[in-house]
Amino acid sequence: MTAQAMNASDAVGAASAASAIERRSRVPLYQFALLAVLLGLWEVLTRVPYLIKNTFLDPFFISRPSLIAQQLWSWTFGARAGFLLPHLMSTLAATLLGLIVATVTGFLVGLLLSQSPTMAKTLNPFIVGLNSLPRIAMVPLITMVFGLGLLAKVVTAWFVVFFLIFFNTFKGSISIEKHLLQFCQTLGATPRQLMWSVRVPSALAWTFAALPNAISFSLVAVVIAEFVGTTKGMGYLIVTALSTLNATEMFAAITVLGLSGLILVAIAERIERRLLRWSPQFNER
């Protein structure tokens, strides 16, 4: 194909991409509309006396968007300004630390085991066993061992996320195509160069692909660790709200968590897209 022909087909691609962007640009609109409808229903229905009396649509149980907004305002700029931030930061710090430690260790162990079939076979039942364990069941034990601070939360996040990263990396490294390695050998690659130029990048691609999921899992794990025992964090806010039966505080904390999750996953997807820009899955259309 000549460069001109390529450019021509690019132009066609650009035209259809433009209409796709037009269609996509309406999506946020739909999303806001849906959000507005849901919040509106929530706000209105929790004001109908009949429903309050006879159903769960009682602000005592499910609060109300306007109350939640007031609560959030009070926590950030209002009466209790500065109350929220330390809790949020504590949760986010544990989430990111757990993610980083799990990604690094999961990647290294995945790569290592993929290079040694004997070790992989030996460890297989242990890994499968640990992985099929309901990992949340370990949280009280982790808290008992590592205390009520940051460490227990990071360890919980690590424990949950590690396997995700490990399995992805391991699968990626063993599925590497043999002819790719042989071809590079004919180009004169030493075993060390094969490792750094072929095996590691090919495994990393799979590691990166697990990042958006990993970050969600990490956040979930940290909040659960905070339920079990801590004095700080968004999970702690939810548990204290439970002890005072305060649904508004609970929903305020949940809202903050939901938004944090959205933002973190969006960032992770951005990073993934950037790192895997050579992969067709991010360049379709």
Where does this chain bind another protein (CB under 8 A)?
1, 3, 177, 179-180, 182-190, 193, 197-198, 201-202, 205, 277-280, 283
Rounded-to-integer distance, Cα 268 and Cα 260, Å: 12
Distance of closest approach, residue 283 Cβ to another protein, in angstroms: 7
CA proximity to 240, closest of 81, 249, 211, 117: 249
**Residue 232: DSSP 8-state:** S
Minimum CB–partner distance for residue 166 and another protein (Å):
21
Q: For residues 60 and 183, which CB has a smaller minimum distance to another protein in the complex? A: 183
Q: Which helix (H) or strand (E) holds 153?
A: helix 150-174
What's the closest the beta carbon of residue 204 comes to another protein, in angstroms? 9
Toward another protein, which CB reaches closer, 67 or 184? 184
Nearer to another protein, 4 or 19 (CB): 4
Cβ at position 95, least distance to another protein in Å: 29
Considering the complex, state which of residue 23 and residue 179 has its C-beta at the smaller distance from another protein. Answer: 179
CB 202 within 8 A of CB 181: no
Smallest gap from Cβ 228 to another protein, in A, equals 42
- Is the dihedral angle over the CA atoms 219, 220, 225, 230 positive or is it negative? positive
2 vs 243 by CB, closer to another protein: 2
- Name the amino acid, one letter, at 248: T
Q: What is the per-residue burial (b if ≥16 Cβ within 10 Å, else e) of 77-92? A: eeeeeeebeebbebbb
